[in-house]
Amino acid sequence: MKEVLKKNDERMQRRIDHLVEEFKSIRAGRANAAVLNKVTVDYYGVPTPVNQLSSISVPEARTLVIQPYDGSTLRAIEKAIQMSDVGINPQNDGKVLRLIFPPLTEDKRKEIAKDIAHIAEDTKVQVRNVRRDTLETLKKMKKSGELTEDDLDEAEKKVQKSTDKFIKEIDSLTDKKKKEIMEI
């Protein structure tokens, strides 16, 4: 039973970790290297993440500077960013690329806040699915005689308590990200 509960918590935590990564990649009007996490460049026939081909720095709040380790990849990185969903055209000075993040409009902020809410809701659904799977496993264990009725009740309460904790964490992360987006 302890192993099943431990696995339940690990699976729920992975959902939270994924949510945090999703939130990092959301453009909030200020420079954030995480927006490039999903951008890959065809480097000698291998799709390679931009952050493995260059150093990325944030010299100012709204500026991201991408300096390739190999100068010959500058054009390919530029093209990959243009083709991605980053939504910003890089400025190429021949040595580095600059991404200048424009301030977000009120409408865009509200749209992003809605997207954040959708992502959070999807994560809650995933956490609840983990709960459902765990409860099914526990009921099978009771049916096969590995658990008593009291053990099952206790385990169900622990699973629900764990689920509530993770849902609360999702709400907290969501509120924090929405607040960050709505800041001017």
pTM above 0.75, yes or no: no
Is 33-100 in the same CATH topology as 2-24+105-182?
A: no
Q: Considering only 57-71, 112-126, 165-179, which range has the smallest mean pLDDT? A: 57-71
Structural domain spans, the chain: 2-24+105-182, 33-100
Helix pair angle (2-24, 149-182), 10° resolution: 10
> 3-state DSSP call for residue 101?
coil
Task: Please give the average per-residue pLDDT across 147-174, as a whole number.
Answer: 94
The listed CATH number (3.40.50.360, 1.10.132.20, 3.50.50.60, 1.10.1740.10) that belongs to domain 2-24+105-182: 1.10.132.20
Question: Which CATH fold would you assign to the domain 33-100?
Answer: Gyrase A; domain 2 (3.30.1360)
Mean pLDDT lowest for which of 4-13, 106-115, 159-168? 106-115
Please state, as a whole number, how many other Cβ atoms lie within 10 Å of the Cβ of residue 126: 19
The tens digit of pLDDT for each residue in 41-69 reads 988 888 989 888 899 898 888 888 999 99
Please report the pLDDT score of residue 160 as a whole number: 95
What percentage of the chain carries pLDDT values higher than 90? 46
The helix/strand/coil state of 160 is: helix
Give the integer Cα–Cα distance in Å for 87 and 106. Answer: 17
* 183 C-beta neighbours (distance < 10 Å), count: 11
> Is residue 30's pLDDT more than 80?
no
Side-chain half-sphere CA neighbours of 164 within 13 A: 6
- pLDDT value of position 8: 94
